[in-house]
Amino acid sequence: MLLLEPWEIESIHLKNRVVMPPMCMYSAGQDGWATDFHDQHYVSRAVGGVGLIIMEATAVLPEGRISDHDLGLWEDSQIEPLQKIVAGCHAYGVKVALQLAHAGRKSTCADLPKYAPSAIDFNPAEYACPSAMTTADIKKAVKAFGQAAARAAQAGFDAVEIHAAHGYLIHEFLSPLSNTRTDAYGGSPENRRRFLQEVVREVRQNWPADRALWARFSATDWLEGGLTPADTVENINQLQQDPSSRLDLAHISSGGLLNAPIKAFPGYQVGFAEEIRRGCGIPVIAVGLLSDSGMAEEIVQHGRADLVALGRELLRNPYWVLQTAHQRGADELIPEAYRRGF
Ligand SMILES: Cc1cc2nc3c(=O)[nH]c(=O)nc-3n(C[C@H](O)[C@H](O)[C@H](O)COP(=O)(O)O)c2cc1C
């Protein structure tokens, strides 16, 4: 089964093409530190045999957390607990990426400033109205992404994923529905992607050249006047033109900017991944209700995506890969210690 065969990105060898996508556990201490829970949670998915784990949204600044219990990497003391988790996963031959994030206007942290490209709220009933970022705020956030990437390198991560999806800060800059600025960071597609481009450049400068660097995108806002898959193709292609902002891969999701009518069904985002893979010529991860192994295999066999991510399925069942290997007659992929269980 191709899904369970190895795949390479930069110098990174994945033992199969199944990915655990980033999923916030909202279980860190108020200081943003990873806990024993995170250790058990990620290492058990490594024992379960996925090829790549992308660890949950990890804030580059305290005010960039979605909640008071998100992981953070804004100071050096936060490196060590993450380093332990990475080493724990590596012991099972699994590669680990970290998602670097800033929540922007979707932060619900107590007593911290809320800011966004423009002073437009996500949802007035539940979220505070953000202030529009000054140029100094923008420069500070860009720098913080780079510093967090340098810490992620020290922690031993194999890759970093820049979170540019789901209505968080970078997505807020990209979409005309949340960015009404008239300065160099708004008013045209080129200006709206400037923040993302500066973040990617800063991360590249602080990230080892032989490790992978990519971003996660919401291919569409699912809303009139919002981002479309064609816009996302263009945004990525523009990044790719400059080696300093080049991505090694794109992880394709959708939505999250505002409430939108989304009809989710198995594979509902795969067409977007396919369009971006074709339109940009870069490897992609497809995600979204893909827990049927036949469907996941079809996606990689037809070259619709290079890797397939299973989120909620892996929360329910850390052993999905081992069970799939058994069902497909590939018991040699099951660790010796567990074989009698199949
Ligand atoms: C509990 C939970 C937390 C999530 N946290 C994040 C996150 O930190 N970063 C992110 O980009 N997506 C996050 N997501 C979205 C998932 O990565 C994934 O795209 C989504 O669950 C759809 O895939 P699935 O149908 O296989 O679950 C989260 C989803 C869940 C269920």
Q: Label each residue of 228-275 as H, E or C.
A: CHHHHHHHHHHHHCCHHHCCCCEEEECCCCCCCCCCCCCCCCHHHHHH
Packing angle of the helix pair 229-240, 194-205 (nearest 10 deg): 40
Total domains, the chain = 1
Distance 136 CA to ligand 1 centre (A): 31
Closest residue by Cα to atom 2, ligand 1, is 23
Distance 135 CA to ligand 1 centre (A): 31
Atom of ligand 1 nearest to the CA of 312: 27
Taking the whole predicted model, whether its pTM rises above 0.75 is answered as: yes
Per-residue pLDDT at 200 exceeds 90: yes
Question: Of 24, 216, 252, 299, which is best to mutate to test ligand 1, by the most ligand atoms within 8 angstroms of its C-beta?
Answer: 24
pLDDT at 34: 98
DSSP H or E run through 7: strand 7-9
pLDDT at 11: 85
Distance 22 CA to ligand 1 centre (A): 6
Per-residue pLDDT at 30 exceeds 90: no
- The tally of CA atoms less than 13 A away on the side-chain side of residue 322 is 18
Average pLDDT estimate for 272-278: 98
Three-state SS at 13: strand
Distance 33 CA to ligand 1 centre (A): 20
Atom of ligand 1 nearest to the CA of 57: 8
pLDDT in tens, 145-179: 999 999 999 999 999 999 999 999 999 999 999 99
Closest residue by Cα to atom 29, ligand 1, is 23
Please report, for the domain that includes residue 169, its CATH number.
Answer: 3.20.20.70
Per-residue pLDDT at 109 exceeds 90: yes
Atom of ligand 1 nearest to the CA of 166: 11
Containing structural domain, residue 161:
2-341
Please list every protein residue whose CB sits less than 6 Å from any atom of ligand 1.
21-24, 56-57, 99, 163, 165-166, 216, 253, 287-290, 310-313
